[in-house]
Copies of this chain bind each other. A is one copy, B any other.
């Protein structure tokens, strides 16, 4: 699954706030940039048709929720990025991500643990 930029904005709201009306999603989006209500509505209707969103029509204000898990989207986007930009090299991506990153001590420890775990699985 490779959502477009606008779709991703909507998904992020739903992942964060849970099932929501168009009104709520639109309000959240407008904290970042101006976007019209019918615009958001149309996007969410299209996403519903695509199977990206689930819609509960039982009440007048339809309640939408994400049909896909954030983990799966994140995984796919990392994979796609590695393939398209880093020529298949995950370690190259890691190098770049680490390159312009100032992690806290805690985060560094977390990363170390992750690597230790990887090493054990050989």
Contact = CB atoms under 8 A, between A and B. Distances in A.
B73 A85 contact: yes
A114 B95 contact: yes
Interface stretch (A18-26, A43-51, A54-62, A74-82): A74-82
A78 B103 contact: no
Contacts of A42: none
Contacts of A105: 119, 122
A85 B8 CA distance: 7
Contact of A98 (B8, B94, B99): B94
Given A94-B94, A107-B91, A81 B77 contact: yes
B112 A93 contact: no
